[in-house]
Structure 1
Amino acid sequence: MSGPVRHLRSRRLLAGGSVSLLGCLLLGVPLFDIWDDATNLSWSVLTSLAENALFFVLASALVWGGVWLARSDWGTDRVTVVAKRTVLATLVFAGLIAWAAYLQLQVMGALKPQILAMDGVIIGAVTSFGISIASTRADVYRAAADEERALKESLELLYRIANELEGATTHEEVYGITDHGLDDVFGATPVRVVIDETVVIDADAPDCQPSERVPIGERGYIELWGDDFARHDVTTAELFGTHLDEAIRRIERETRLREERDILEFVNRTLRHDLLGDLSLVEARLRMLDRNVVFEDPAHADHLDVSLDRVDDMHEFIRTMRTYMEALLDADHSLEATPLPPVIDEELEDIREAHPDAVAERSAIPEVAVEADDLLSHVFSNLFRNAVEHNDAETPEVIVDAELAGDVVCVTVADNGPGVPESRRKDIFEKGAHGTESSGSGFGLFLVKDAVENYGGEIRVRDNEPRGTVFELELPVASG
Structure 2
Amino acid sequence: MPESYAAVMAADGSENPPWKDLPDSTPSVLVVDDSEFFADMMASEIENGSSFETISCYDGETALEKIERNDIACIVSDYRMDPVDGIELLETVRDEYGAIPFIILTGQGGEEVAIEAIRLGATDYVTKEMIIEGEEFSLLLNRIEQSVNHTMAQTELARRKELIETQRDNLEFLNEVLRHDIRNDLQIISAYADRLEDHVDQAGRADLETIQQSTDNAIELTKTTDKVAEIMLRQEVDRQAVSIRDIITEEIETIRAADPNATVEVVGEIPDVEVLAGQMIDAVFRNLLKNAVQHNDKREPEITVSATEQEEVLEVRVADNGPGISEELQQSIFGKGERGLESEGTGIGLHLVATLVDDYDGDVRIEDNDPEGSVFVVELQLADA
Q: TM-score, normalised by structure 2?
A: 0.65
Could you tell me which residue of structure 2 aligns to residue 307 of structure 1?
Answer: 211
1:469/1:340 CA distance change after superposition, 3 Å = same
Provide the secondary structure at the position in 2 that maps to 1:346: helix
Aligned partner of residue 172 in structure 1, secondary structure:
coil
Letter in 1 for 2:209: D
SS at match of 1:313: helix
Q: 1:468 to 1:251 in 2, by over 3 A?
A: same
Counterpart of 1:271? Answer: 178
With over 3 angstroms needed to count, the CA separation of the structure-2 counterparts of 1:274 and 1:238, relative to structure 1, is: same
Q: Work out the number of aligned pairs and report it.
A: 288
2:21 maps to 1:196: yes
Partner of 1:280: 187
Give the letter aligned to residue 314 of structure 1: A
3-state DSSP of counterpart to 1:441: coil
In 1, the alpha carbon distance for the partners of 2:72 and 2:265 equals 64
Secondary structure of the 1:418 match is coil
| 299 and 246 in structure 1: CA distance in 2 versus 1, 3 angstrom threshold | farther
Aligned-partner Cα distance in 2 for 1:212–1:442: 57
Q: Pick from 161, 170, 178: which aligns with 1:254?
A: 161
Q: Percent identity?
A: 32
1:429 aligns with 2:334: yes
Mapping 1:73-112, distance limit 5 Å: none
State the 1:434 CA deviation.
0.7
Residue 48 (structure 2) pairs with residue 172 (structure 1)? no
Question: 2:263 maps to what in 1?
Answer: 359
- Deviation readout 1:102-158 (Å, 9 max, x if unpaired): xxxxxxxxxxxxxxxxxxxxxxxxxxxxxxxxxxxxxxxxxxxxxxxxxxxxxxxxx
Deviation (angstroms), 1:384: 1.1
> 2:325 is paired with a residue of what secondary structure?
coil
Is the strand fraction higher in 1 or 2? 2
Q: Does 1:412 align with 2:317?
A: yes
SS state at 2:318 partner? strand
| Structure ranking higher on relative contact order (CA contacts 8 Å, 6+ apart) | 2
CA RMSD across the alignment: 3.3
**Structure 2: gaps of 5 or more residues:** 1-7, 33-39, 53-70, 77-130
- Corresponding residue number in structure 1 for 2:48: 211
**Which structure has the greater CA radius of gyration?**
1
Question: Which of 321, 342, 346 in structure 1 is aligned with 2:225?
Answer: 321
| TM-score of the aligned structures, taking structure 1 as reference length | 0.53
Instruction: Say if 2:361 and 2:381, in contact at 8 Å, map to a contact too.
Output: yes
Higher relative helix content? 1
- Judged with a 3 Å threshold, the aligned counterparts in structure 2 of structure 1 residues 284 and 415 are, in CA distance, closer, same or farther, namely closer
Task: Quote how far apart the aligned CAs of 1:202 are.
Answer: 5.1
* Aligned equivalent of 1:378: 283
Deviation per residue, 1:175-201 (Å, 9 max, x gap): 69xxxxxxxxxxxxxxxx944235677
Between the aligned partners of 2:72 and 2:344, the Cα distance in structure 1 is 51
Asked if structure 1 preserves the Cα contact closer than 8 Å seen for 2:74 and 2:144, the reply is no
Distance 1:253 1:285, change over 3 A: same
Which residues of structure 1 form unaligned runs of 5+?
1-169, 177-192
Q: How far 1:232 moved relative to its partner?
A: 4.3
Contact 2:28 2:73 in 1 (8 A): no
**TM-aligned CA deviation for residue 432 of structure 1:** 1.4
> Could you tell me how far apart the structure 1 residues matched to 2:31 and 2:382 are?
63
1:436 deviates by 0.6
